[in-house]
Amino acid sequence: MTGIPPHHAAQPQAAPGLFRIGRQRSRKPAPLWLLGLTALGAIVTAHIFIPALPFAAHTLGASARDMQLTVSIYIAGLAAGQLVYGPLADWLGQRRILMAGLAIYIAASIAAGLATSAPVLVAIRLVQSLGGGSGLVLARAIARRGCAPQEATRRQAMMNLVITLGPPLSPLVGGMIASLWGWRMIFALLALLGCLNLGGTWLLIPDGDRGGLDGRTVLRNYLRLLITPRFVAYSLAGGCFTTSMYALIGAAPFILVRQFGYTADRIGPVLAFATMGIWIGSIAASRLAHRLRTESLLMAGGLCVSASAFCLLLLVSQGWLTVPALVAIMGLFLFGVGLSGPPALTLAISVNPLATASGSGIYGATQMAVGAICSLGGALSGDPALGAARTVAMAAGLGLVAMAVNAMLHRRSAARPELS
């Protein structure tokens, strides 16, 4: 007999060489900058082509309506792709599905740069969105992998800082590229970005999740999420507190022009100053993640969004709105967006640890659906200020109701063991 306990003696020795190195490397978390860049690619692709639409329409002999379809079809495909990639990743593994999606994205980007007609470009943009959706879903799920909720919230907040660069900066980059080298070079740049993300995924993201769940289990977990009250509440609250901002951001230029007589060159600085709020909120979320409970952080962000939304509704309905007030309200609103987004996502995909990718996909699709509804609600009103105010107030109220219902369910589940 030796002094080694039996269970130690029975353990197999680690394989030498590359296998051992791979196992050690798999324990390292995926770098946040790469996950943020991978998710950013999907967002950038939606916005960077917008300034080049007139150039592409002239080259392809297409109407403005045909070219605008290349944007709307991309957004629709991005929402649909998120619903598919989640369960696929839970079944086959997050890393391999991410690499497959990025490969599709690269091929579609190259094909889009070679398109010879508007219908072909529209079809290719749909394929491109289906590939790009993998980065948006799986970067979030991989960032959550192996982390406590507080650390996951901090990582999501840091990723959010990178992702929020997309909407304001990508149109500037796209317009510059189209004017200097032509619109086709935009897709060459996107293909290069996809190659960088694919190479980084292969080299730097550990293969720590190989799936392993059978298809029936994945489908059962997926459907169970859709009827789990906690998941639905977190997803709905997250969507209402974050992507409802599209109603406000979309209406702001019209408010400034029609109501206050601003010219186009004065709108950009005003909106840029207001949108700094989302950056400050994301930084605050990363700093407060280890000091506050994740639910408390989400509620704090939701209260900022709700307070600013109801304040906007009051000022607009009474005719008291001014430019400084609009900027201050937008700043507080977007601060709440940055503060509430990371904890909402973390809580939603933590409901079922075996379905984090599925949860991320459903959550992302819910965000896009809420954003589309809110932007439509703001656009349908004849008065942009009143339409946006009513829309964000209703969205904020619905988010608060979702959080209240979730708190009630939590109290009931906590009290159930005491009653038994």
What is the residue-averaged pLDDT of the chain?
81
Assess whether pLDDT exceeds 60 at residue 17. Answer: no
The pLDDT tens digits for 37-58 are 888 888 888 778 877 877 888 8
State the Cα–Cα distance between residues 21 and 26, nearest whole angstrom: 9
CATH 1.20.1250.20 domain range(s) in the chain: 26-212, 228-419
- Of 85, 94, 188, the C-alpha closest to 133 is 85
Q: In 10 A of CB 125, how many CB atoms?
A: 28
User: Does 270 have pLDDT greater than 80?
Assistant: no
- How far apart CA 349 and CA 149 sit, in angstroms, is 10
Tokens of 279: 């950056």
Residue 11, phi then psi, degrees to nearest 5: -70, 140
pLDDT at residue number 407 = 85
Q: Where are the alpha helices (DSSP H) in 6-63?
A: 6-9, 18-26, 32-47, 53-60
Q: What is the pLDDT of residues 115-163, one digit of tens each?
A: 989 899 989 999 998 898 888 888 877 877 666 767 777 777 777 777 7
Q: Model-level pTM?
A: 0.72
| Cα–Cα distance, 271 to 265 (Å, whole number) | 11
Long-range contacts of 169-178 (CB under 8 A, 24+ apart): 170/43, 170/44, 170/47, 170/48, 171/47, 171/48, 171/50, 171/51, 173/48, 174/47, 174/48, 174/49, 174/50, 174/51, 174/52, 175/51, 175/52, 177/52, 178/51, 178/52, 178/55
Q: Could you say which of 1.20.1250.20, 1.10.287.180, 1.10.3720.10, 3.40.50.1260 is the CATH number of the domain covering 26-212?
A: 1.20.1250.20
User: Which two tokens mark 312?
Assistant: 């906007």
Tell how far CA 205 is from the center of its chain: 20
Give the residue, 418 or 269, on which the prediction is more confident: 269
CA distance 167 to 159: 15
pLDDT, tens only, 280-320: 888 888 888 888 888 899 999 999 999 999 999 999 999 99
- CATH superfamily, domain 228-419, is MFS general substrate transporter like domains (1.20.1250.20)
> What kind and span of H or E run contains 13?
none
Using DSSP, state whether 132 is helix, strand or coil. Answer: helix
CB of 100 closer than 8 Å to CB of 147 = no
pLDDT of residue 193 exceeding 80: yes
Q: What is the dihedral of CA 262, 263, 266, 268, to 10 degrees?
A: 100
CA atoms within 13 A on the CB side of 87: 18
pLDDT per residue as tens digits for the range 342-383? 899 889 988 888 788 788 888 888 888 888 788 777 767 778
CB–CB of 134/98 below 8 Å? yes
Region of residue 261 (phi > 0: left; psi between -120 and 50: alpha; otherwise: beta): left
pLDDT at 2: 42
Query: What residues contact 51, with CB distance under 8 A and at least 6 apart?
Result: 171, 174, 175, 178
Give the C-alpha separation, 400 to 305, whole Å. 10
SS3 of 1, please? coil
* Tokens, residue 365: 């699709």
Rounded to 5°, the CA angle 27-201-178 comes to 150
Place of tokens 């960032």: 143
**Predicted pLDDT at 337:** 92
